Amino acid sequence: MNAHEIDFQIFGEEMQFVEIELDPQEAVVAEAGSFMMMDSDIKMDTIFGDGSNQDKGVLGKIFSAGKRMLTGESLFMTAFLNIGQVKRKVSFASPYPGKILPIDLSETQGKFICQKDAFLCAAKGVSIGIEFSKRLGRGLFGGEGFIMQKLEGDGLAFVHAGGTLAKKELKSGEVLRVDTGCIVGFTQHVDYDIEFVGGIKNTVFGGEGLFYATLRGPGTVYVQSLPFSRLAGRVLAAIPSGGNTKGEGSILGGIGNLLDGDN
């Protein structure tokens, strides 16, 4: 194997974290902000790119990091290396309520495509790059689905799904239509495109957006019930204007503010 062979255990139900066990000289790489805790003898180091091109010289490292920059991610990642003589553990936490999904790339023919904000951590040696769309529709209307991340290699990677996670096995030619933000990821042979919802009533009054993703089998698709963009939108919509919380949860809240002279 090119990637480090790591062991893991996932804890929790709604706010999960993954505990990774590292043998001496094994390492795991993670996005900034996902670290939770670690044993002694774990050395934390900031690396340029994802650490998969360390043997390809300066240009290889720059190219690896540059691909991450296009997805809006940091040029740097954090590596956690066991420098001790016995097994040590390091843990990474979910960014918001949902499920952590382990992906064994050796079982997906070496490649898995996921939303750019779904990646949590992976065994060192796994390449974290970008999956460019070759179709105009995805580029113009795909939103979050236009530039997706691709995880390549033969090791373990961990992605996060918001809310409840659904796994769909698509047969050859079978089609699944999904809100673009609800896609967690899919195996490499799944064909992905963007379609217009259609219909004037759907367009004007539907409230679900003008486009959805079509995923065509064969392959495996993972779908989340609560993408972060939807969660953030609902939180922002629930914040009272002016920071006033009087009448929260009541249809008379706005009228109460008027009577109080707050507006």
**Using an 8 Å Cβ cutoff, are 151 and 114 in contact?**
yes
Is the model's pLDDT at 142 over the cut of 50? no
CA atoms within 13 A on the CB side of 262: 15
Over residues 73-93, the pLDDT tens digits come to 667 889 999 999 999 999 999
Mean pLDDT rounded to a whole number for the chain: 80
pLDDT attached to residue 139: 47
* In the chain, % of residues over pLDDT 90: 47
Using the predicted structure, report yes or no on whether residue 222 has a pLDDT greater than 80.
yes
Three-state SS at 201: helix
Report d(CA 205, CA 203) in Å as an integer: 6
Of 83, 102, 9, 7, the closest CA to residue 43 belongs to 83
- Quote the strand ranges of the chain, DSSP E: 7-11, 17-22, 27-30, 35-38, 42-48, 76-82, 88-93, 98-104, 111-114, 119-123, 127-131, 148-152, 156-162, 165-170, 175-178, 183-187, 191-196, 211-216, 219-224
Question: What's the confidence (pLDDT) of residue 163?
Answer: 92
pLDDT at residue 153 in the model: 92
Give the pLDDT confidence of 28-74 residue by residue, as tens digits: 999 888 999 999 999 999 887 666 655 555 555 555 555 556 656 66
Kindly list the domain boundaries of the chain, sorted by start residue. Answer: 7-242
- The reported pLDDT for the residue numbered 100 is 96
Determine the pLDDT at residue 134: 54
What pLDDT score does 231 carry? 80
Q: Is the pLDDT of residue 244 over 80?
A: no
- Residue 10, SS3? strand
What fold is seen in the domain 7-242? Double-stranded beta-helix (3.60.160)
Return the minimum-mean-pLDDT range out of 33-42, 195-204, 234-243.
195-204
- Residue 184: the pLDDT is 94
Residue-wise pLDDT for 105-138, tens only, equals 999 999 999 987 899 999 999 988 888 665 545 5
